Structure formats: C-alpha cells, structure tokens
Structure 1
C-alpha cells in the first residue's frame, strides 16, 4: 500500500490545499493529512477544529476516489511523523519560487535524516497559486469575501471564529 503524508497547519484549509489533496489521491492508496501543532504560528483555529475541517472537507473526496484520507495531528519532526504513519512519500504543495527555496532546504534536511522517504512536489493550479491561509484569515478579519478561497463550510467556520 502506498502511503503519502501531506503536512501543513491548515489554519484554515483552503481550496489550494484541497487541490493538492485531490491530486495527491492519484499517487497513493492512503493519504494522511498531517495537521501540524505549530504553537509558533499561533493558529486561529484550535487543533481539534482544524482536524475536523480536514475530515469534513475530505470525506466526499475519499469516497469518490476510493483513497483513504485521514487527518493526523503531529508535533514531532516531519520525517518522524512520516515514519510513524508508514508514509513512503511526503507530498508538498508549491505556489511560487519562494516556496521552492524553503522546500528545497527542507528536503535536503529530511533526506539527511531518512533517505528512505521521498518528497514529491505538486504545483498548485494557477487559480489557487495566490491562496495562503494567512491571507485568507486577514481578508476575513477585514470584512472581505473569502468565498473564492475556501469552501462554504470553512467560510462559515472562519466567520464564526471571527465573530462575524
């Protein structure tokens, strides 16, 4: 069984994330969405909400593709999380050149820690390349419409979280 790990903070999950998740299902039999417990980023949504959003947003896709998609919170090294969930591949989404520079360095470090786990990069579709959770939260905070960037359920959760 081919197991992939797609890690991120997912605060909140965006249409860009969902695009990468959808395309990753063509590569693996089981996709683990690693929901990072990243206290340094100070997420808007608590971990439980981010996990629930991933599970809700991925349920139909899992059924449609036949690929098991599970959310898995983690706080350890990414390469250790991959080992813990039995992933042979880490899936990363790229939006721009700036992403590549960071990811290139990360892959080098991960390979030094465990060269049995490969990293695969998927470019976000053009219409999703500008989407970043940080920007989506800022737009919502300032009263803008985030409908183009997240699903209706995530938009509702975001607005509720911001008390709008």
Structure 2
C-alpha cells in the first residue's frame, strides 16, 4: 500500500520550516503532494507558477534522494476535496508552537468531520525553524533585510529580485 500525503499551504515563499516538513515527509512516505492553495481574494507576492517552480527546484532533489514520488500542484477548493482527487490518505501539517497546535487541531477536527477517511498528521518544527513564518520573511525581505537564514538559497535570490524590481 502506497503511503501518500497532501501538504497544503500558500508557500509564499517556501521557508526552511517547510523544508524540514518535506524532508521528514519524504523519509516517511512513498508519495508527497505539495499543494499550493490559491484564493482569488488574496494577492500573493509570488504567482502560483513562480511558487510551483521554486517548490519543484527545492524539493525534487530531496524527494529523489529519499525515493519519494513528489507532485507539486495548485488547488482552489477545500483541502479535503483536493487531497481526495490526488489520492492522498494523509493530510500533513507542520507545527511551530502551541498557537499552531490550537489552530491546526480545529482544522483537523473540521477536516475529520468532512473526510473521515483522511488522517491528519502533525510534524513538529525544530527549535531552529520555529520562529520562521512566510509573513515575517516577506516583511524582512521587503525592507532589504537578509533572509538567507530563513529560506533556501534559491528563494532568497528570488525574494531579492522580486523586491529589487518593485514587485
């Protein structure tokens, strides 16, 4: 039986916290679907296409090393519906702290009611990546700060380019 998980987020941008979650997932799973949620009411820094490209560049070598099949997709509906379409049996979530846990437990409860066939699995962040959020990374980068300690090298370059071009 193939162990397949669905890891949903905005990934705007991908951070070292996301890297930790994906690295652990690739060691545990046969297949991982990284799913970029899109919403017409939100204006992300990076387009969905740019995020797909960055995610593939960062995560494909990692997945290949662990012999985990990787798919990077976008979706604009309920996570549980998208996960089912992609034949995942696990909803994967990363946790930084207790605030994340409280919020994620609520979502897991709702998802469990809508899709009892999907199991939510939480992966805790290491102390080194707990303070990192995509929002803070965007703020620091927008002010010309060095974000290289918080994101993969490729993403740091893309952030510098994005803000140098005025978005």
- With the shorter chain as reference, the TM-score category is over 0.9
Q: Tell me the equivalent position of 1:69.
A: 70
Q: Tell me the equivalent position of 2:80.
A: 79
Structure 2: state its 5+ residue gaps: none
Aligned residues of 1:94 and 1:124 also touching (Cα < 8 A):
yes
Q: TM-score, normalised by structure 2?
A: 0.95
Deviations, residues 27-55 of structure 1 (Å, cap 9, x unaligned): 21000001111344421000000011100
Superposition map of 1:1-164 within 5 A: 1-163=2-164
How many positions carry a matched residue from both structures? 164
CA–CA distance in structure 2, aligned partners of residues 33 and 158 of structure 1? 21
CA–CA distance in structure 1, aligned partners of residues 124 and 160 of structure 2? 29
Deviations, residues 99-149 of structure 1 (Å, cap 9, x unaligned): 111111101111110101000000011100011000000001111110100
Aligned residues of 1:9 and 1:38 also touching (Cα < 8 A):
no
